[in-house]
A and B are shown apart, each in its own frame.
Chain A
Amino acid sequence: MKNKTILIEPVTRIEGHAKITIDINENQQVEDARIHVTQFRGFEKICEGRPYTEMPALTSRTCGICPVSHAVASSKACDELLAVRPPKAARNIRRMINLAQILQSHALNFYHLSAPDFVYGFDAPKEDRNIFKLMQTHPQMAKDGIALRAFGQKIIERLGGKRIHPEWIVPGGVSHVVTQEQAQTILDELPQAFDIAKRTLQYFKENLPRFKKEIDAFGNFDSLFLSIVGKKGQLEHYDGLLKIIDAQGNVLEENIEPKEYKTYIGEAVEHDSYLKSPYYIPMGYPKGIYRVGALARLNIANGCGTSYADEAFEVFKNINNGKPLLSSFYYHYARIIEMIFAIERIEILLRDPKTFSDNIRSYAKINRLNAVGCSEAPRGTLFHDYSSTQDGVITGMNLIIATGNNNLAMNKSVKQVAQTFVNPLDITDGALNKVEAVIRCYDPCLSCSTHAQGIVSSVIEIRDAHKNVLQTIQRS
């Protein structure tokens, strides 16, 4: 029997476009499986020659789902070029809008993209595994998803002027103050959002035992974890120092200034994907595999710093007796805890009188020619690394996008799931869905990470030992 490869294209219910190949060997076993990101945009090149003042707005155009994350990281890089620290009000407002972004993005992943798998099961008929079926059978859950995402989006709109691609985060701070009226409107809506997030956590915890097989095989392996943490080691998304731990929870690196990232993170290029493969340099490529995002953040942090999220965090940590959770299935759990944290933290920021100061922007000319901005995006740690002339013209740019950080882990996860669930002699739709579902655990934003453009093009491909495509399965 010839070796063969299964190709999954497009990969569905993710942001952006990809295909998966599954290679079958002569013994009719899954030999390998990989995710290929099939688009290219080249934002680093587009930005060269443009003034630094354009960077927050320009780089946020990378994506329609997490533009705020890019605006935040970009503005922080620009702050560094100017060598200024934004005033407290500006930092609070940036922090708040970043949390609103994380909230709406996590809500989208849970309710619209992943919930059908949780409700109907990963082996359910494919015509049932979508939000429209969910609307019919679980209308309250579907409404919750819409309401929670709307809450996050409205905060972005109220603070930033528009929901997608707000342009009010600027070098040195923000361009508009937050008014007491705006704050009160958000505070009035906050209890409903909080109730929804708590209800979601309850649902997920109750249903977690149903997914033991998926927990065991969905990216369940040793890896490093990377995120920024706050001064006390707590969960942090806007500002902080980098920390890296291993699978046992041992600290490999901590208190790393983001501008030093190149000492620790290398970027390998694979021949079959536009997505680079970052790795931890001291362990080399590909051994230096690490994960970022909600799971990494909660594995690394020693607490959340808000009351209800801390309660949930403690339960989460106890699953593996305080050690890191290694299955990527737990990304879903971690994202729900982060939604609760985001709502609680937004309330704290809205009740801080310093948020309402008129002093929202620091001004300076270019004082540094190289700068790195780093923040936690919904999907993980985001780096914007700029070089500039003395006149503020960008001459070089390197972006390490959250999803890119997870590339090696996503590939390893796809292989693990394919080897566990795909029987080459009887390829079921449920098995192929699991191969896609493990990617959804990471909630990848491929448009961002490759800066992709183009029309959707993704597939599941079955290939023989010579990489000849024997079968192509269209997934959309």
Chain B
Amino acid sequence: MKRLILGFGNTLRGEDAFGVDAVLLLQNNTLKNTTVLSAFQLTPEMALEMLEYSHIIFIDTAFSPSHAYALACSLEKSNRVNLSHHISAFHLIDILNTLYGHFPSFEIFSMLGNNFEAISNVVAYKEALEKTTQFLMHY
């Protein structure tokens, strides 16, 4: 089984960088049969690169006004179909399923955050990073 871990977010926008920061930590370790990538945002053509993986783990920050730094897995899908230049993880999986007949298993690891200007609580942020990366290294 080939696995892809894809962390995404804007490193200039505070807690939105969680996925990218997690990938930076994971890159220091050897993960069996796993490719680790980071991206600024998810775009449709990434589907082409995901075709070779049977399991995909996305890491991102999900907006939550009241549960900052809580960790969540595979939050419920939004039903929005509007898009511009970037899309959601669910949309990418939709593209893989519908257009390419590829059905990888996938999970979305999210840190809940409410500050996209800065990291409000550096200690809590680092703890969330540590927990996520440790979990993934032994997953």
Instruction: Please give the distance in Å from B69's CB to the nearest CB on chain A.
Output: 20
Choose among B48, B84, B91, B100 the residue that contacts A132 (Cβ–Cβ < 8 A). Answer: B91
In the complex, whether B95 has a CB less than 8 A from a CB of chain A is yes
- The verdict on A12 contacting B82 (CB below 8 Å), with A150-B45, A153-B43, A164-B41 known, is yes
Q: Are A15 and B84 in contact (CB under 8 A)?
A: yes
Q: Are B48 and A147 in contact (CB under 8 A)?
A: yes
Q: Which of B4-48 contact A (CB under 8 A)?
A: 12, 39-41, 43-45, 47-48
In the complex, whether A175 has a CB less than 8 A from a CB of chain B is no
- Cβ-closest chain B residue relative to A61: B12
Instruction: Please give the distance in Å from B115's CB to the nearest CB on chain A.
Output: 13
In the complex, whether B80 has a CB less than 8 A from a CB of chain A is yes
Q: Are A13 and B82 in contact (CB under 8 A)?
A: yes
For the complex, count residues of A whose C-beta is within 8 A of B. Answer: 33
Q: Are A146 and B84 in contact (CB under 8 A)?
A: no
Instruction: Chain A residues near B39: list those with CB within 8 A.
Output: 164
Q: Are A135 and B85 in contact (CB under 8 A)?
A: no
Q: Are A113 and B84 in contact (CB under 8 A)?
A: yes
- Cβ-closest chain A residue relative to B40: A164
Q: Give a binary string over A1-24; 1 marks a CB under 8 Å from any B CB, 0 the rest.
A: 000000000101111100000000
- Cβ-closest chain A residue relative to B97: A135
Q: Are A139 and B98 in contact (CB under 8 A)?
A: yes
Please measure, in the bound complex, the distance between the C-alpha atom of A49 and the C-alpha atom of B56, giving whole angstroms: 43
Choose among A15, A65, A135, A476 the residue that contacts B98 (Cβ–Cβ < 8 A). Answer: A135
Q: Are B99 and A142 in contact (CB under 8 A)?
A: yes
Please measure, in the bound complex, the distance between the C-alpha atom of A15 and the C-alpha atom of B94, giving whole angstroms: 22
In the complex, whether B131 has a CB less than 8 A from a CB of chain A is no
Q: Which of B66-90 contact A (CB under 8 A)?
A: 80-86
Please measure, in the bound complex, the distance between the C-alpha atom of A108 and the C-alpha atom of B43, giving whole angstroms: 10
Please measure, in the bound complex, the distance between the C-alpha atom of A130 and the C-alpha atom of B84, giving whole angstroms: 11
- Cβ-closest chain B residue relative to A107: B45
Instruction: Please give the distance in Å from A101's CB to the nearest CB on chain B.
Output: 12
Q: Are A13 and B84 in contact (CB under 8 A)?
A: yes
Interface of B, secondary structure class, is: loop
Instruction: Please give the distance in Å from B64's CB to the nearest CB on chain A.
Output: 13
Choose among B47, B81, B98 the residue that contacts A136 (Cβ–Cβ < 8 A). Answer: B98
In the complex, whether A361 has a CB less than 8 A from a CB of chain B is no
Q: Are B40 and A146 in contact (CB under 8 A)?
A: no
Choose among A15, A64, A146, A475 the residue that contacts B95 (Cβ–Cβ < 8 A). Answer: A146
Q: Give a binary string over A228-254; 1 marks a CB under 8 Å from any B CB, 0 the rest.
A: 000000000000000000000000000
Choose among B80, B94, B99 the residue that contacts A476 (Cβ–Cβ < 8 A). Answer: B80
Choose among A15, A132, A147, A150 the residue that contacts B85 (Cβ–Cβ < 8 A). Answer: A15
Please measure, in the bound complex, the distance between the C-alpha atom of A12 and the C-alpha atom of B80, giving whole angstroms: 11
Please measure, in the bound complex, the distance between the C-alpha atom of A64 and the C-alpha atom of B39, giving whole angstroms: 12
Instruction: Chain A residues near B12: list those with CB within 8 A.
Output: 61
Q: Are B41 and A135 in contact (CB under 8 A)?
A: no
Please measure, in the bound complex, the distance between the C-alpha atom of A14 and the C-alpha atom of B85, giving whole angstroms: 8
Instruction: Chain A residues near B95: list those with CB within 8 A.
Output: 135, 142, 146
Interface centre among B44, B48, B99, by most chain A C-beta atoms within 10 angstroms, is B44
Q: Are A146 and B82 in contact (CB under 8 A)?
A: no
In the complex, whether A112 has a CB less than 8 A from a CB of chain B is yes
- The verdict on A112 contacting B99 (CB below 8 Å), with A135-B94, A145-B44, A153-B45 known, is no
Q: A130-B83, A142-B95, A146-B47 are in contact. List 4 more A-B contacts (CB 8 A).
A: A15-B85, A64-B85, A135-B98, A136-B98
**27 A-B residue pairings within 8 Å (CB atoms):** A12-B82, A13-B82, A14-B84, A15-B84, A61-B12, A64-B40, A64-B41, A64-B85, A65-B84, A113-B84, A130-B81, A130-B82, A130-B83, A131-B83, A132-B91, A132-B98, A135-B95, A135-B99, A139-B98, A146-B95, A147-B45, A149-B43, A149-B44, A153-B43, A153-B45, A162-B40, A164-B39
